[in-house]
Every structure is written in structure tokens, then in C-alpha cells.
Chain A
Amino acid sequence: AQSVTQLDSHVSVSEGTPVLLRCNYSSSYSPSLFWYVQHPNKGLQLLLKYTSAATLVKGINGFEAEFKKSETSFHLTKPSAHMSDAAEYFCVVSAKFNFGNEKLTFGTGTRLTIIP
């Protein structure tokens, strides 16, 4: 079985300050991990993906995430928030089960608000 927990449903930061969005996961197999972003009235867009290579993953728009197996975490960070970062962010875990089938499990999302 696998699951993903986004620890904050809503995060507010001031423009120009760091962003931290927290994600913990559980998986019986070696997982792939993703962060997707959803801007209002839009579909989800991939920010970054971890697939057992480097533990620090760099994504688009200055975001990065660090895979920490010992803590089963995959937190998303950005050094300096921009107004355009305001959106909903989803942590996603993908793991193989039975005969190589993959299953995606989505977190419940974190809404990021940027204060001018």
C-alpha cells in the first residue's frame, strides 16, 4: 500500500521570502515522487520528478525538492516566492505493485498564497 500526506492545506508567504511545502509518503516499494502545480481553472502541470537518481531534484520556475528516505519526506522549496507562484500544489507518489503495475496516489493539495 502507499499513501501521501501533505502536512499543510494552506501556506501563506510574503513575496521574496522562502517557500516550504511539506510532503510525507509511505510506500512498500521504491517510489517515484512528483510535485504538480495547478493554477486557477487550469489543469495540473509537472514541477519536478524524483526517480531514484539524485536526491535533490530541480524543477521548473526555481522550485526544488529533496528526497529523504530516512524521513520518508519529499518537501518542495523555493528560495524566493513570486506572485505567480500562487497556486495549488500536489505531491504524488507512484509505485509498482503486483506484476509491475504502477499506481499514482495524489495528496490532498496545499494552497500557496503570496502576500504582496
Chain B
Amino acid sequence: NAGVTQTPKFRILKIGQSMTLQCTQDMNHNYMYWYRQDPGMGLKLIYYSVGAGITDKGEVPNGYNVSRSTTEDFPLRLELAAPSQTSVYFCASSWRATNEKLFFGSGTQLSVL
């Protein structure tokens, strides 16, 4: 049972670099989410998607972009990385709605130096 798979697990970027965080799920879930977790803070929603071809901003979308071309994949793109984007990023999915059980990936620890 793979569930939600995120890659890479760790990454160090220099200021101004770009990268894509990959997320894939094999549960045929409609809803997918990207969160960031900063020390001592709750998770903050970056972007979410309710189905292939449909995405929307969350609480903290600035500096990020997403796409959802398939049900399985929901990559997160960082353009022009900044130190403020140093965080742990989690991808999650749920079957039909936000208030259902979320299944989380194991996270990506990103440092921007």
C-alpha cells in the first residue's frame, strides 16, 4: 500500500533556484493538498485541488505554483526560492471532501540558503 508518495525527502536550494516537489497517490482520491509546516506552527495550506484540471489557492500561495493534469499527481513548483520558503512540505489527499480523513505523505524537508 503506497498511499501518498512524496519526493525528494530532503533538498537544499540556493536563493533564486527553482524546483518541483513531486506528489503522487494511488488511492484514486479526488482531493489533493499541499501544506507547509514551520517550527512551532500548525500546518498551513498552500494550494489544493478538487480534481484533475482544478486547482485553487490556500492560505499561503505566494511563491508557489501547482498543476493537476492527472488524478494521481499534484506537483508543487517553487520559483525563485527564498529563505522564507525553508520549511517541511506535506502533500495529502482525501476521497471527496476536506472534512474527510486526510492521508499524508512523509514530507519533504527543504532548506533555502
Contacts from A to B (Cβ < 8 Å): 4, 9, 32, 36, 41-46, 49, 51, 90, 94, 102-109
Contacts and interface: CB of A to CB of B under 8 A. Distances in A.
B102 interface: yes
A10 to B, nearest CB: 11
Contacts of A43: 4, 90, 92, 103-107
B41 to A, nearest CB: 6
Contact of A102 (B4, B98, B105): B98
A51 B100 CA distance: 10
Contacts of A94: 98-99
B106 A41 contact: yes
A51 B103 CA distance: 18
A18 to B, nearest CB: 25
Nearest to A32: B99
Contacts of A105: 42
A109 B42 contact: yes
B11 interface: no
B29 to A, nearest CB: 14
Contacts of A44: 43, 90, 92, 102, 104
- B43, B90, B106 interface centre (most CB from chain A within 10 Å): B43
B40 interface: yes
B99 A41 contact: no
A106 B43 CA distance: 6
